[in-house]
Chains A and B, each alone.
Chain A
Amino acid sequence: MALAKRIIPCLDVDKGRVVKGVNFVGIRDAGDPVEIAKRYNDQGADEITFLDITASHEGRDTTVHMVEAIAEQVFIPLTVGGGIRELDDIRRMLNAGADKVSINSAAVYNPEFVKAASDKFGAQCIVVAIDAKQVGDNHWEIFTHGGRKPTGINAVEWAVKMAEFGAGEILLTSMDRDGVKSGFDLGVTRAIVDSVNIPVIASGGVGNLDHLVDGVKIGHADAVLAASIFHFGEYTVQQAKQHMAAAGIEMRLD
């Protein structure tokens, strides 16, 4: 099969700076989003995801300007997430140069929003982000508010429903693993990937390059997302791609 698996560096951005927390708290500054996005583009990243974790409304305008600046310099697909609640938020991000938007809590509160968004802008630009936590054997639930608030929704069933509602892709983050560098939660990844007919991005927990390989080979993910292993210079994106290709995974190396 010729379609390459994708590596997607993720920028968690707060008040105009790339940050990275452990289990969604304990923030560490990693630099300027535009510079970092450009660096990953040059290193051969397949896409870039920009997650705005700024709480305030004023911060949103900063985000729009940053997305514009990134889109001017980065010629690979760009996904923007964080605070996408209305069709106007989507329009604003697409107009700023995003190719896709990632919808998280708004989908949980109002699943019809995903339908409306997909009808309006096309499934190809609607990513539904799922934050899942293990609550029992082979049982994962959706959490909101950065992993603090349980919803009682079964993560696998939710993914299937979101695909039916018109999501073009799923960004699956394991809240147990996020920032702790012990590898993806392969159980929930595989359970969701094998249940839906849309691409799934695995996220949360990457601490070394073998974790990326496992995400694809064991978790069956179509794409793998990582942040801190790239931000602090442990690995370049190109090293990660070479490592995955050496493990027999189809990657874009040219």
Chain B
Amino acid sequence: MSSKLCAVIDYGMGNLHSAHGALQTVAPDTKVVVTSDAEVIRKADHVVLPGVGAIRDCMAEIRRQEIDQVVAEVRKTKPLLGICVGLQAMMERSEENGGVECMGLFPGEVKFFGNDLVENGEKLKVPHMGWNRVEQVAHPLWAGIADNSRFYFVHSYYVQAANVVQVKGRGHYGVDFAAAMGEDNVFAVQFHPEKSHNAGLALLKNFLAWDGQA
């Protein structure tokens, strides 16, 4: 049996070594490549869409390099994992940078936590940075991971899903937000599984073992 191929999409936004290293570590038999080549992405068995930084820059590169077109194909044919801004780019629009249209794989918006975020009278810092709990909604990617496990987050904008059925993980930081979204063969998370120690590595391992059937 030939080994499987996992493509981590590189569209020039930040360092992808961590994502690559973590995926390769959990699946030594899978060939994990960091690439912007549409042909390689089409050939891959699993595709990861990462993202860091500002959404305006991310979406500009996604459009310029026609990553949006490849993602539109991939979402119908093979398991696709969005990470952090990769998730946000899958929503309809974001209010960051004065309002940016995104890819619209999921209905809903990306909103700012705000400068006056309060919980039980305590002012919350923004960005939401650190280890927070995720309440799981049954999905194969949570296999073997205890419900309410903590994952590493770092973000100032959060996903507000329009279709709650697509929320596969619930997070809370002053407000409720979607920590994970999923439908068909697409799964996307706000946290960084590649930086979330054992729970994150388990999720990545589940993803690479996933056939895209929810």
Contact = CB atoms under 8 A, between A and B. Distances in A.
Interface of A: 1-6, 41, 44, 46, 68, 71-72, 75-77, 94-99, 121-125, 168-169, 197-199, 222-223, 252, 254
B99 interface: no
Contact of B127 (A46, A97, A123, A254): A123
B150 A168 contact: no
Contacts, number: 100
Contacts of B14: 94, 121-122
Most buried by B among A3, A95, A98: A3
B175 interface: no
Interface residues of B, number: 42
Contacts of A99: 18, 195
Nearest to B173: A3
A6 B125 CA distance: 14
A77 B21 CA distance: 13
Chain B's interface: helix, strand, loop or mixed, by majority? mixed
21 contacts: A2-B133, A3-B132, A4-B150, A46-B130, A71-B17, A75-B197, A75-B201, A76-B195, A77-B154, A95-B15, A96-B17, A97-B17, A97-B18, A122-B14, A122-B53, A124-B52, A168-B127, A197-B123, A199-B130, A222-B130, A254-B150
B179 to A, nearest CB: 11
Q: What are the 10 A-B residue pairs with the smallest beta carbon separation, nearest first? A: A252-B131, A122-B53, A4-B131, A252-B150, A97-B17, A94-B15, A124-B154, A3-B132, A2-B133, A77-B195
Contacts of A3: 124, 128, 130-132, 173
Contacts of A68: 17
Contacts of B130: 3-6, 46, 199, 222-223
Contacts of B17: 68, 71, 95-97
Chain A's interface: helix, strand, loop or mixed, by majority? loop
Interface of B: 14-15, 17-18, 21-22, 25, 52-54, 115, 119-120, 122-133, 146, 149-150, 152, 154-156, 172-173, 192, 194-197, 199-201
A76 B53 contact: no
B132 A75 contact: no
A124 B85 CA distance: 12
A99 B17 CA distance: 10
Given A4-B131, A5-B130, A123-B156, 10 more contacts: A2-B173, A41-B197, A95-B15, A96-B17, A98-B15, A121-B14, A168-B154, A197-B126, A198-B126, A252-B150
Most buried by A among B18, B54, B124, B199: B18
A199 B129 CA distance: 8
B18 A71 contact: yes
Given A4-B150, A99-B195, A122-B54, A168 B18 contact: no
Contacts of A97: 15, 17-18, 21
A4 B119 CA distance: 14
B114 to A, nearest CB: 10
Nearest to A98: B15
A200 to B, nearest CB: 8
Nearest to A1: B119
